[in-house]
A and B are shown apart, each in its own frame.
With several copies, the nearest count.
Chain A
Amino acid sequence: MVSEMDPIASIKKEYINELVAQEKREDDRAFDEHRNIKIIPNYIKKAEGSAYVELGDTKVIVGVKYDAGKPFADIPNQGVMTTSAEFAPMASPEFESGPPGENAIELARVVDRGIRESEAIDTKKLCIIPGEKVYIVFVDIQILDNCGNLIDACGIAAITALLTARMPVYDKDGNPTEEMVPLPLNKIPITCTMVKVNNKLLLDPALDEEKVLDSRITVSTDDDGNIVAMQKGTGGSFKLEEIMEAVKISKEQGKKIREIIKNSIKEEESG
Chain B
Amino acid sequence: MKRGDGRKKDELRNVRMEVGVLKRADGSAYVEWGNNKVFASVYGPREVIPRFLARNDRAILRCKYNMTPFSVEDRKRPGPDRRSVEIGKVTAGALEPAVILETYPNSMINVNIEVMQADAGTRCAGITAATLALVDAGIPMRDLVSACAAGKANDGIILDLSKEEDNKGQADIPMAIMPRSEEVTLLQMDGILTEDELEEALKLAVGGCKSIYELQKNALMAKYGE
Contacts and interface: CB of A to CB of B under 8 A. Distances in A.
Contact of B185 (A109, A230, A237): A237
B192 A226 contact: yes
Given A50-B70, A61-B116, A99-B79, A234 B90 contact: yes
Contact of A240 (B116, B178, B182): B182
A233 interface: yes
Given A119-B192, A140-B68, A244-B199, A237 B97 contact: yes
Contact of A145 (B25, B70, B73, B96): B25
A90 B90 contact: no
Nearest to B112: A90
Interface string B43-80: 10010000000011100000010101111111100111
B141 interface: no
Q: Size band of the A side of the interface?
A: 35 or more
A259 to B, nearest CB: 21
A145 B22 contact: yes
Interface string A67-86: 10000000000000000101
A102 B85 contact: yes
B1 interface: no
Given A118-B192, A230-B187, A240-B203, A235 B68 contact: no
Contacts of B186: 232
Contacts, number: 191
B201 to A, nearest CB: 10
B92 interface: yes
Given A65-B75, A145-B22, A232 B188 contact: yes
B23 A117 contact: no
B96 A140 contact: no
A46 B71 contact: yes
A91 B188 CA distance: 28
A45 B34 CA distance: 12
A228 interface: yes
A117 B89 CA distance: 21
A5 B70 contact: no
Nearest to A240: B202
B79 A63 contact: no
A105 B39 contact: no
Contacts of A251: 195
Given A106-B86, A106-B89, A232-B90, A86 B184 contact: no
Q: Size band of the B side of the interface?
A: 35 or more
A142 B68 contact: yes
A146 B24 contact: yes
A44 B185 contact: no
A243 B202 CA distance: 9
A186 interface: no
Given A61-B116, A88-B114, A217 B190 contact: no
Given A45-B117, A227-B198, A233 B93 contact: yes
Interface in A217-271: 217, 222, 225-240, 243-244, 247-248, 251
A165 to B, nearest CB: 11
A170 to B, nearest CB: 17
Contact of B55 (A4, A113, A142, A237): A4
A64 interface: yes
Interface in B86-126: 86, 88-90, 92-93, 96-97, 110, 112, 114, 116-119
Contact of B78 (A140, A222, A227): A140
A92 interface: yes
Contacts of B23: 57, 145, 147
A38 to B, nearest CB: 13
Contact of A144 (B43, B73, B74, B114): B114
30 contacts: A46-B72, A46-B73, A46-B118, A89-B112, A90-B28, A90-B112, A90-B114, A102-B88, A105-B89, A108-B82, A113-B190, A117-B191, A117-B192, A138-B75, A145-B22, A217-B187, A225-B194, A226-B192, A227-B192, A227-B193, A231-B90, A231-B189, A232-B184, A232-B186, A235-B97, A236-B97, A237-B178, A237-B181, A237-B185, A239-B183
Interface of A: 4-5, 43-47, 50, 57, 59, 61, 63-65, 67, 84, 86, 88-93, 97, 99-100, 102-103, 105-106, 108-109, 113, 116-119, 138, 140, 142, 144-147, 217, 222, 225-240, 243-244, 247-248, 251
